[in-house]
Amino acid sequence: MLHIKNATVHTPDRVIERGSVLVEERRIVSVGPSADAAAAAGAREIDAAGLVLAPGFVELQLNGAFGHDFTDDPATIWQVGERITRYGVTSFLPTIITSPLEQVAAGRKVVTDGRPAGYRGAVPLGLHVEGPFLNPKRKGAHNANYLRLPSLDAVADWSPATGVRLVTLAPELPGALDVIRALTARGVAVSIGHSDATFDQAVAGFDAGARYGTHLFNAQSSLGHRDPGVPGALLSDDRITVGFIADGVHTHRAIIKIVYKVLGPSRMSLVTDAMAALGMAPGAHKLGDYDVIVDATSARLPDGVLAGSILALDQALRNVIEITGCGLSDALAMMTSTPARLLGLDGALGRIAPGCAADLVLLSPDLRVRQTIVGGEVVFTA
Ligand code: ZN
């Protein structure tokens, strides 16, 4: 049993000053003012006076970190998972980019084999498979040699139970709508990305079941006032949640502000799209097959194309508040309750509420991660 008391609790729907959270058997069992909390006999106590208690961060797009690339070596999912808790991440979708389908199978096996003995880290909820069903015109840093047309056979055994949670594809490709229908019927979230779709083609993807957009504006058709393209479709359709890399490199700061005004916290989801260089010094790193050059702010192929980011999710939290002026609860929602809902896990994680996983982050007043808790166990202390 764990009792955290005297924290400013952001659930994130509401704020409880001097709040108390009680955890039993990996789940939250009660939430309320500390004054009302019954003394829990035998519980470990954390006095969090002066700190913010938030749901643990849910990362929907992470390619790797600390020198490891999941596409290159899926076995490193667990090593990275143990270390990303320093950024407040308590669950994540390891992302496998365009590669031979055997790499997806290898990644699924790593996830479904389950945690190694003694594992203390963020929980991989299943893969985000980004590619290979992408439009060559919008491939970004993906290897065109492995791009292929969508096929029902290729995804026949993809489901959350077999290690796939989210698939990014281009809806304008032949066969894409059938694949979207098949995946969504099995509970896999489908996202539109690396796509040259027209507005109508994107909406056809939504009608088939797609509910997410991968890194808005990057690697997709442009927003034109007579030809709104993928961004216009993602922004204007209330069914859609949009993934956004708030590093100030992938898009201009003004775009972050505009997008927040349009979408608000329930439709905007903050991701990092971070790659192997996250947590490492600048220099040469890998993304899939490619060598990537990393400087202080960005990761790029030799020709300058962006190749993921080096953004940490807690930095995205601070960035979005500073750039948009939004409140802390709204910023937290974009990396907790909103991504959890997209994955169909509302009520299971992403909130501080009875019944939810006891995945929690304690933040200092300037929003630095002090402590990260996964399933009621403290896994990181600054
Ligand atoms: Zn991408």
What's the confidence (pLDDT) of residue 288?
79
Ligand 1 centroid vs 216 CA: distance in angstroms? Answer: 10
Q: Between 253-263 and 313-324, two packed helices, what is the crossing angle to 10 degrees?
A: 80
- C-alpha 14 – ligand 1 centre gap (Å): 33
Domains in the chain (CATH in brackets) are 2-53+353-381 (2.30.40.10), 56-342 (3.20.20.140)
Name the catalytic one among 69, 247, 273, 330: 273
Full-model pTM: 0.96
Question: Please, is 30 exposed, middle or buried when counting C-beta atoms within 10 Å of its C-beta (0-12, 13-18, 19+)?
Answer: middle
> Ligand 1 centroid vs 63 CA: distance in angstroms?
10
* Interhelix angle 199-208/176-185, nearest 10 degrees: 30
pLDDT tens digits in sequence order for the chain, 382 residues long = 999 999 999 999 999 999 999 999 999 999 999 877 666 677 899 999 999 999 999 999 999 999 999 999 999 999 999 999 999 999 999 999 999 999 999 999 999 999 999 999 999 999 999 999 999 999 999 999 999 999 999 999 999 999 999 999 999 999 999 999 999 999 999 999 999 999 999 999 999 999 999 999 999 999 999 999 999 999 999 999 999 998 889 999 999 999 999 999 999 999 999 999 999 999 999 887 888 999 988 999 998 999 999 999 999 999 999 999 999 999 999 999 999 999 999 999 999 999 999 999 999 999 999 999 999 999 999 9
**Which residues are CB-contacts of 38 (< 8 A; sequence separation ≥ 6)?**
none
The alpha carbon of 61 and the centre of ligand 1 are apart by a number of angstroms equal to 9
Ligand 1 mean position to 352 CA, how many Å? Answer: 31
Q: Who contacts 127 (Cβ-Cβ below 8 Å, separation ≥6)?
A: 93, 94, 95, 96, 104, 107, 108, 111, 163, 164, 165, 166
Task: Give pLDDT, residue 212.
Answer: 98
CA–centroid distance, 306 to ligand 1, in Å, is 9
What pLDDT is stored for residue 39 in this prediction?
Answer: 65
Indicate the residue type of 139: K
Q: Which among 14, 55, 22 has a CA at the least distance from the CA of 40?
A: 22
Separation of CA 214 and ligand 1 centre (Å): 7
SS3 content of the chain, % helix, strand, coil (to 5): 25, 30, 45
Residue 289 Cα to ligand 1 middle (Å): 14
Active site residue 273: yes
How many Cα atoms sit within 13 Å of 67 on the Cβ side? 3
Phi/psi at 359 (nearest 5 deg)? -100, 115
